[in-house]
Structure 1
Amino acid sequence: MRIFATISRKLRRDESGMAATEFGLLVVPLMIVLLGAFDLGYQSYVRAQLQGVLNDVARTATVETPDFTGYTGTTTEERIENAIKDRVNNIARNASYTINQTNFYEFSGVGNAEKLLTDVNGNGQYDSADGDCFEDINSNGAFDLSAGASGQGGADDIVYYDVTITMPRIVPVMTLIGVPANYTINARAAVRNQPFADQAIPPTVCGP
């Protein structure tokens, strides 16, 4: 018994190997923090690059005949999309893209309904039966909750770009702590086309 008591006292005083044990306990949360910081940094980098590319492409597209030489597409809208994809693909691995191009008559129309010109009953809504009138921005003859029309529009129009990319995380292990497997990164820009011609005036449409 005396031998066991002596050994027990020595073991209690022996601290060799404690550093390795403590490191083993700390290494997992430490790596999660470091990988998380790297993951967020990369996501911020891709977002900044996407916004920069979009701003540059949007400015190039404001002229009457924008120069997108080297990018495929039968329309200006298609060449704009391909220009964005080609330039972002250098940093965004296996990304899929959703690119919307919408034109508006003025900046105030972005994100808003078509403008009411006459509101007979004063309820702030378009009522065809009351004979309300509205500015038909997209010339489709119907009152729309979005005042925009698809595409680049014409001279002096406002073009609103909304680009979303989805791509796998650069650190897949982050999914172990409940983080989604993919990044979803968005960039937006609104620019005015140059006045290379007179801006088309939207027609006024009134209910019967």
Structure 2
Amino acid sequence: MRRFLTAIARDETGATIVEFALVLPVLALVLIGIFDVGFNMYAGAVLRGVMNEAGRNSTIEAATTGSIDKQVRDAVQDIVPGATVTFTRRAYSSFTDIKRAEDYTDVNGDGTCNNGEPFEDANTNGIYDTDRGIDGQGGARDAVLYTATMSYKRMFPLAGFAGVSNTYELSSATVLRNQPYDNTLSGAPPVGNCP
């Protein structure tokens, strides 16, 4: 009996399958993570590509906000069915105004618009803003910061591992130039006073 137990203890047949069983969960998790990152990168590339195309297509006169949104949504949902796509538009009178604060006179030199200091109300909303744009498509020849955000459930089951969320969100933006018709935002902005 002792020889039999010694022979079993020295037998290494089947050790490979046991080692593989120990390594398999880690290998599967790494592969799923690689596939998830790869898919998310691909979805992001598709979103950026379709946003660039939307920027080019917006220059034709027949382009409407609805047709551009539909083009982006359809292209994204071809790759990620069931993705939620939301859009924002912010109009500026020129490309150099994008994400720029309204101009003000810093009377007290503290670097902040306050204490009734005068400012140019570029978006005519009556208050000082750190972003001079207005929500929406704007008017003729305005530059429009067009942003699409897509949200979708992960394709691979990573939720629950190290705080990974079950949904993934990507955004892409481009600047469109409105056609030269209708009214523009340009012109002398009114002057207001800082709070």
Q: TM-score, normalised by structure 2?
A: 0.85
Q: For residue 51 of structure 1, report the CA deviation from its aligned partner.
A: 0.7
RMSD: 2.4
What residue number does 1:125 align with?
A: 112
Secondary structure at 1:177 match in 2: coil
Q: For residue 9 of structure 1, report the CA deviation from its aligned partner.
A: 1.8
Q: Does 1:32 align with 2:22?
A: no
Percent of residue pairs identical: 32
Secondary structure at 2:165 match in 1: coil
2:161 to 160, 172, 177: 177
What residue number does 1:203 align with?
A: 189
2:146 to 155, 158, 161: 161
Q: For residue 202 of structure 1, report the CA deviation from its aligned partner.
A: 4.3
Note closer, same or farther for the CA distance 1:125–1:106 as it changes in structure 2 (3 Å cut).
farther
Note closer, same or farther for the CA distance 1:126–1:58 as it changes in structure 2 (3 Å cut).
same
Q: For residue 186 of structure 1, report the CA deviation from its aligned partner.
A: 1.3
Once the two structures are overlaid, the 10-residue window that deviates more, 14-23 or 142-151, is: 142-151
Secondary structure at 2:159 match in 1: helix
Q: Does 1:19 align with 2:16?
A: yes
**Paired letter, 1:31:** A
Q: Does 1:188 align with 2:186?
A: no
Q: For residue 159 of structure 1, report the CA deviation from its aligned partner.
A: 1.2
For 1:137 and 1:80, how far apart are their aligned partners in 2?
Answer: 27
For 2:98 and 2:144, how far apart are their aligned partners in 1?
Answer: 9
Q: For residue 184 of structure 1, report the CA deviation from its aligned partner.
A: 0.9
Q: For residue 128 of structure 1, report the CA deviation from its aligned partner.
A: 6.6
Q: For residue 147 of structure 1, report the CA deviation from its aligned partner.
A: 1.0
Q: For residue 66 of structure 1, report the CA deviation from its aligned partner.
A: 3.6
5+ residue gaps, structure 1, are: 68-75
2:83 to 95, 98, 101: 95
What residue number does 1:148 align with?
A: 133
For 1:105 and 1:197, how far apart are their aligned partners in 2?
Answer: 13
For 2:62 and 2:79, how far apart are their aligned partners in 1?
Answer: 25
Q: Does 1:57 align with 2:54?
A: yes
**Paired letter, 1:123:** D
5+ residue gaps, structure 2, are: none
**Paired letter, 1:129:** G
1:45 to 42, 45, 68: 42
CA contact (8 A) 2:119 2:128 kept: no
Q: For residue 197 of structure 1, report the CA deviation from its aligned partner.
A: 8.2
What residue number does 1:9 align with?
A: 6
For residues 23-43 of structure 1, what are the alpha-carbon distances to aligned partners after superposition, in whole Å with 9 as ceiling and x for unaligned? 111111111111111111111
For 1:169 and 1:198, how far apart are their aligned partners in 2?
Answer: 44
For 1:104 and 1:95, how far apart are their aligned partners in 2?
Answer: 29
Q: TM-score, normalised by structure 1?
A: 0.80
